[in-house]
Every structure is written in structure tokens, then in C-alpha cells.
Amino acid sequence: MLEVCLSAENCKAFVMWGFTDAHSWIPGFYRGYGFALIFDDSYRPKPAYYALAYALAEGSNRASDASSENQDA
């Protein structure tokens, strides 16, 4: 979803409903669910954290490349 947001000109924000699984409200209402955030309950990064970081880095690289191309034109 972040990659889609980064590629859409009208996407101005990317919001997650939480930061760490330790404070997720989902397990209290849906047994067996609630581990969807980017840090576990000990604040260790999960695979989703690295995927978001990669997408942001790639988005930054694409923006840099586009800026360079525009300056060369």
C-alpha cells in the first residue's frame, strides 16, 4: 500500500493505526489477531518495518532520479 501511495500524486499521507503490537486494541476484540503493526510488543522491528523502509528508500531514489532528469532537460 505504501508503494501505491508513493506513486500516486494525490496521496499526501500514509497512516498506520498503531506502532507496536504491545498497544494494539485488536486482540481484545478478535482473539488470535492483532499482530499487524511494524514493531512487536518488545519494539523489535518486524518484516513489515523493513518493507516500509525499503519502499521509502526506493521512493526517495525515484524522486531523486526524476529531479535530476528534470534539471538535465
Could you give the CA distance from residue 32 to residue 62 in angstroms, rounded to a whole number? 39
By residue range, what is the domain housing residue 24?
2-72
Paired with 39 in beta bridges are 20, 45
| pLDDT for res 36 | 84
Q: Determine contact, residues 35/24, Cβ cutoff 8 Å.
A: yes
Q: Write out pLDDT tens, residues 35-57.
A: 889 999 999 999 999 999 999 99
The pTM (predicted TM-score) of the whole model is 0.69
Grid cell in block for residue 64:
531523486
Band of residue 73 on the pLDDT scale cut at 50, 70, 90: low
| pLDDT for res 15 | 92
| pLDDT for res 71 | 60
Per-chain mean pLDDT for the chain: 84
Q: Count how many domains the chain has.
A: 1
| pLDDT for res 45 | 97
